[in-house]
Amino acid sequence: MEKRYLLPPQVANATIKSGVAKANLPISRIIFLAIFAGMFIGFGAYGDIVIMQTLKNIDVGVMKFFGASVFPIGLMLVVMAGGELFTGNNLMTLALMDKKITLNGLLKNWIFVYIGNFIGSFLLALVIYKTGLLKDAAADLSLGIAKGKVGLTFEVAFYRGILCNILVVLAVWMATAAQDIVSKIFACWFPVMLFVLSGYEHSVANMFFLPMGKLLGLSITWGEIWFNNIIPVTIGNIVGGGIIVPLVYYICYVKPFKEKENVNKDKVLTK
């Protein structure tokens, strides 16, 4: 029977190859794909708001679950339709640890992807606002979400960002392991659903939620949007998705094989 998934060491190698490809993308492609990814995450965030508005007066847990159930469409679109997402690209540090890319290559991708993600998220928020679709209960809910996010302390936003991106990069990891589209959908759905249901913080999603709140009239400044939420969440996302998960998997799935290869090379050279 044909095996329809990759084993963890194979996923690690595929992730490293992907990191090399991402580090060598031209800036124009990075920007366009990142704008798309920001919009994709925004579509999921908007769906989250729409479905939760109908349930907020019934049961909070049910409301969060149904909202969380539609949010993962954003990552599915990124993974399967194509996009450059900052939080997912945090896994590029695996290629950096393996010395397959340089720090400059990593930072070039991250910086331009981050900028593109913000442009895409904000543009989608602006267009949806202009449609007039977000009103009444949906508008109230959107305002409440934005107000709650800017009200977080730096520490709380940071730790929620860590937990969020551990799950997001694990979703990307499992989607890489999956070898057919249905498996990739499920690989994306469960971890992302869980992070939304749990109340963790995703920097790119917040690039949609917070500007939308401001557009709807919430009295917040751009400084509060960035310094109260997006910046600490971004740092947390990097720690969770760019350090914790890649470091553990490098130690477990990459380093042992490299050491074995070096031993074998030494044996060949001594013959």
- DSSP letter (8 states) at residue 92: G
pLDDT tens, position by position, 2-34: 678 899 999 999 999 999 999 999 999 999 999
Please state, in angstroms and rounded to a whole number, the distance separating the CA atoms of residues 86 and 112: 9
- The pLDDT of 110-129, averaged and rounded, is 98
Amino acid 3: pLDDT: 72
Gyration radius (Cα) of the chain, Å: 20
Mean pLDDT of 118-143: 96
Over residues 55-83, mean pLDDT: 92
Distance CA 218, CA 197 (A): 24
Q: What distance in Å separates the CA atoms of residue 129 and residue 193, rounded to the nearest whole number?
A: 25
Contact criterion met (CB below 8 Å) for 52 and 66: yes
How far apart CA 89 and CA 157 sit, in angstroms, is 20
Lowest mean pLDDT among 2-16, 52-66, 166-180: 52-66
Q: What are the structural domains, with CATH classification, of the chain?
A: 8-270 (1.20.1080.10)
Find out whether 134 and 55 touch, Cβ atoms under 8 Å. no
The rounded percent of the chain whose pLDDT value lies above 70 is 94
What proportion of the chain, given as a percentage, has pLDDT over 90? 87
Mean pLDDT value across residues 191-213: 97
Q: Are 146 and 222 in contact (CB under 8 A)?
A: no
Asked whether the predicted pLDDT for residue 92 surpasses 70, the reply is yes
Q: Burial of 185 by CB count in 10 Å (0-12 exposed, 13-18 middle, 19+ buried)?
A: middle
Q: Tell me the per-residue pLDDT of 217-245, one tens digit each, with 9 for 90 and over.
A: 999 999 999 999 999 999 999 999 999 99
Please give the structure tokens belonging to residue 235: 């740092």
Asked if 124 and 208 touch (Cβ cutoff 8 Å), the reply is yes
Q: What is the pLDDT of residue 258?
A: 73
Beta-carbon count within 10 A of 95 CB: 25
CA distances from 86 to 165, 180, 221, 235 (A): 10, 24, 24, 12
| Direct distance between the N- and C-terminal alpha carbons of the chain, in angstroms, rounded to an integer | 41
Query: Which has the closest alpha carbon to 50: 152, 146, 176, 140?
Result: 140
What integer is the mean pLDDT of 114-133?
97
Q: Is the pLDDT of residue 1 over 60?
A: no
Give 114's pLDDT tier (boundaries 50, 70, 90): very high
Sign of the four-CA dihedral 37, 39, 42, 46: negative
Residue where the block lists tokens 């050491």: 259
Residue 259 has a pLDDT of 62
